Structure 1
Amino acid sequence: MKLNIFANPNLLHEAAAQTIVRLLRQKPDAVLGLATGGTPVGIYEALTAAVRRREVSFARAASFNLDEYVGLPPDHPASYRFYMDQHLFRHIDIPPERTHIPDGCAADLERECERYDRLLQAAGRIDLMLLGLGHNGHIGFNEPGRALHSKTHVAVLHPQTREANARFFCTPEEVPTKAITMGLGSIFSARTILLVVKGNDKADIVHRALTGPITTECPASLLQLHPRLVVMLDEGAAARFKCQTTQNAPHEPVDSTNGLW
């Protein structure tokens, strides 16, 4: 694991974006795993700016999103397809047919999960998986529990998760109770996982996930087992790590011989 603490969110956003930029420069047809929510917005803005400066192209890349709400059509303002179009896809040169998000309105959800897994398998191994972190330790919509799913599946959302996501809806009651989510097997098969966490409210859970016992009751704790985990935190999220030495100065992005490690 490489732990990077940044003095402010803007530095974090730029460092995370540059990690993806370096990957695409070295491997233009890279397969990206993408996340939604409040955390990646600044990263996507930085990537958009890099495309506008012609520093990078997504023309040969492919993307697979972690999840989608069940029951929300693609044009719903709270759907993740709408989110990705608004925050990234319509601002960059990635071909629409190379962007993949589960269909939360599929007539047969189990078949949709199987279809998504087939697409993932056909695309090959994900080169970089961008993850956020839920307050209860979920990644994607893999919620805490006695057992976790390896493949894409329909997840019942924890009340804490629905409460955290209520800010994206007009009323809390509108938050869907289910979502299609990529399984942990697909997430962990990624060559590199980039975990980005911001805010004081995530300080306890990110510390627990990265230093506590590995347990299905905190799905993100399994990330400790991944051989190529890069963690980027702002100072708020890193509050419990203050006594530990970071491996990169706050202003420096992750660097390596292959651009990611």
Structure 2
Amino acid sequence: MLAATKSFRVDELTVQIYNNESEMAQDVAAIAQQYLQNVLQQKDTAAVLLATGNSQLKFLDALINLGGVDWSRIILFHLDEYLGISSDHAASFRRYLRELVEQRVHPKQFHYIEGDTLQPLAECDRYSKLLQAQSIDLCCLGVGENGHLAFNDPYVADFQDPYRVKLVKLDAINRQQQVNTGQFPSLENVPQYAFTVTLPVICAAKKIICLAPDKRKANIVKDILHGPINTKCPASILRQQNQATLFIDTNSASLLADISNY
């Protein structure tokens, strides 16, 4: 296991800094592996809520390659999906997770949000009932450049959201990020609406790991840790979760105040 170069707390949130994304991914994979092993020693199955995006690629690959997890006892969910694109679309989160995870580990179940449903409100209800029936043992997160968790963008995020899953309109920063990371060729191609699991469901997970590497996340990492806790930066809610850890690298930590003071 590769130890973090720095570990500290901001309010209730544990923060760990690594030299680079690769070292971070390897360590987080080992942490997740050990945690899932412990959960499966105590009960028959474990439920995991997965994120997508570039921040998850190395971590998920490392976790799978590490082995030692009985995936036949793991029930998987995912955090979000675009409205109106098929599961075979190049930017579909279902495709991402099917190819990167499901086809490699063959979990007990993988519950997908059906983004191309003809009845989106009924799909919100269906997925909400699945989540209501299953407590989440581990939630894996990334952070958007606007501070979103899943598709809880600043103007739709609600720390006391009454819904488990909802349909939201994506903001301009979020949609542009999808273009910048190569998910879509232009802004016009990015769907305007998406399904998202809400913040109370995320915060109810028994363990939360949030990965935010890369220089382009430096501004939002600074806002998460040094700004106010409010929905202008949805990920700031993590500072109230003592079961959560934010994993960053020296690039995404580059705008923090002198970390030697932590």
Q: 1:11 aligns with which of 19, 23, 31?
A: 23
**What CA distance in whole angstroms lies between the structure 2 residues aligned with 1:189 and 1:42?**
25
Secondary structure at the counterpart of residue 185 of structure 1? helix
Is 2:168 aligned against 1:155?
Answer: yes
8 Å CA contact retained: 1:133, 1:139:
yes
Counterpart position of 1:165: 178
Counterpart position of 1:32: 48
Change (3 A) 1:246 1:193: farther
Residue segments in structure 1 that go unaligned for 5+ positions in a row: 248-261
Deviations 1:158-198 (A, max 9, x none): 11111110221233321111110001111111111111101
How big is the shift at 1:242?
6.0
Counterpart position of 2:8: none
Counterpart position of 2:241: 226
| 2:150 counterpart letter in structure 1 | G
* Segments ≥4 residues shifted beyond 3 Å: none
**What CA distance in whole angstroms lies between the structure 2 residues aligned with 1:91 and 1:246?**
43
How big is the shift at 1:111?
1.3
8 Å CA contact retained: 2:151, 2:168:
yes
How big is the shift at 1:210?
2.2
8 Å CA contact retained: 2:14, 2:242:
no
Change (3 A) 1:141 1:246: farther
More divergent stretch after superposition (168-177 vs 76-85): 168-177
Counterpart position of 1:243: 258
Q: Relative contact order, CA 8 A, sep 6+: which one is greater?
A: 1
Secondary structure at the counterpart of residue 76 of structure 1? coil
**What CA distance in whole angstroms lies between the structure 1 residues aligned with 2:253 and 2:186?**
31
How big is the shift at 1:77?
1.7
8 Å CA contact retained: 2:157, 2:199:
no
**What CA distance in whole angstroms lies between the structure 1 residues aligned with 2:211 and 2:84?**
28
8 Å CA contact retained: 1:57, 1:93:
no
Counterpart position of 2:7: none
Counterpart position of 1:62: 75
Counterpart position of 2:9: none
Counterpart position of 1:259: none
Secondary structure at the counterpart of residue 136 of structure 2? coil
| 1:67 counterpart letter in structure 2 | D
| 1:9 counterpart letter in structure 2 | E
Counterpart position of 2:92: 79
CA-based RMSD: 1.7
**What CA distance in whole angstroms lies between the structure 1 residues aligned with 2:141 and 2:106?**
22
Secondary structure at the counterpart of residue 190 of structure 1? coil
**What CA distance in whole angstroms lies between the structure 2 residues aligned with 1:25 and 1:196?**
21
Secondary structure at the counterpart of residue 53 of structure 2? coil
8 Å CA contact retained: 1:9, 1:198:
yes
Secondary structure at the counterpart of residue 39 of structure 1? helix
**What CA distance in whole angstroms lies between the structure 1 residues aligned with 2:36 and 2:156?**
38
Counterpart position of 2:4: none
Counterpart position of 2:125: 114
Is 2:226 aligned against 1:214?
Answer: no
**What CA distance in whole angstroms lies between the structure 1 residues aligned with 2:210 and 2:30?**
14
How big is the shift at 1:205?
0.8
**What CA distance in whole angstroms lies between the structure 2 residues aligned with 1:21 and 1:246?**
31
**What CA distance in whole angstroms lies between the structure 2 residues aligned with 1:138 and 1:110?**
22
| 1:65 counterpart letter in structure 2 | H
Counterpart position of 1:50: 66
Secondary structure at the counterpart of residue 49 of structure 2? strand
8 Å CA contact retained: 1:210, 1:223:
no
With the length of structure 2 as denominator, give the TM-score of the two structures: 0.87
8 Å CA contact retained: 1:23, 1:30:
no
How big is the shift at 1:46?
0.5
Residue segments in structure 2 that go unaligned for 5+ positions in a row: 1-12
With the length of structure 1 as denominator, give the TM-score of the two structures: 0.87
**What CA distance in whole angstroms lies between the structure 2 residues aligned with 1:93 and 1:190?**
23
